[in-house]
């Protein structure tokens, strides 16, 4: 069973300013293992594989009326994910000191100690100009503080600081 919650909030305290936040929380639970309830002494049995970490984006967008310019500054991040299944513990793409579940310590809530994907936070900015009604140019800095991070279960560390130039045109 997978349950989740996603929320988007947009507030405009002034005509040119929008404060926004987007967040998700997902929890998965294995109900039966070979026809039996998961063993409470084995927390990994009740976990789904690669359960996403809680994550969110918070930002402020400046978009003055009657001008072609806009800017967006936002933070994006994810919480530590140490609610691990047996497959997660054995998966080399998920950080941990061992791949043997017998060597992983679990706390009183069933979360793995010294295993799992660390939480992370990036700071990002985008600046743009609308050239015509259907075209715009955007300059962006992603992960401005050049932090190492990884989405849980991806196996790939995200790139460091990025500079992006994009041109969008709607036909």
Per-residue pLDDT of the chain in tens (171 residues, 90 and over written 9): 999 999 999 999 999 999 999 999 999 999 999 999 999 889 999 999 999 999 999 999 999 988 999 999 999 999 999 999 999 999 988 988 888 888 899 998 889 998 999 999 999 999 999 988 889 999 999 999 999 999 998 888 898 999 999 999 988
Strand blocks (E) in 30-78: 55-62, 69-78
Query: Quick check: 150 and 122 in contact, CB under 8 A?
Result: no
CB atoms within 10 A of CB 167: 9
For residues 155 and 63, give the distance between their C-alpha atoms in angstroms, rounded to a whole number: 37
Can you name the residues that pair with 25 across neighbouring β-strands?
Answer: 5
pTM of the model: 0.88
CB atoms within 10 A of CB 3: 9
């Amino acid at each position: 069973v997978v349950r989740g919650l996603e929320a988007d909030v947009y507030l405009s305290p002034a005509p040119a300013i929008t404060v926004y936040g987007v967040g998700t929380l997902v929890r998965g639970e294995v109900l039966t293992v070979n026809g039996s309830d998961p063993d409470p002494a084995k927390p990994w049995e009740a976990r789904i594989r690669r359960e996403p970490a809680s994550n969110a984006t918070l930002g402020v967008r400046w978009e003055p009326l009657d001008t072609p310019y806009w800017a967006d500054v936002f933070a994006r991040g994810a919480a530590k994910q140490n609610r691990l299944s047996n497959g997660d513990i054995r998966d080399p793409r998920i950080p941990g000191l061992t791949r043997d579940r017998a060597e992983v310590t679990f706390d009183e809530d069933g979360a793995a100690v010294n295993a799992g994907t660390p939480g992370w936070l990036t700071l990002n900015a985008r600046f743009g100009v609308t050239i015509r009604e259907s075209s715009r140019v955007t300059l962006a800095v992603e992960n401005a503080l050049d932090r190492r991070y990884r989405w849980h279960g991806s196996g790939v560390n995200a790139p460091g600081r990025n500079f992006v130039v994009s041109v969008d045109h709607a036909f």
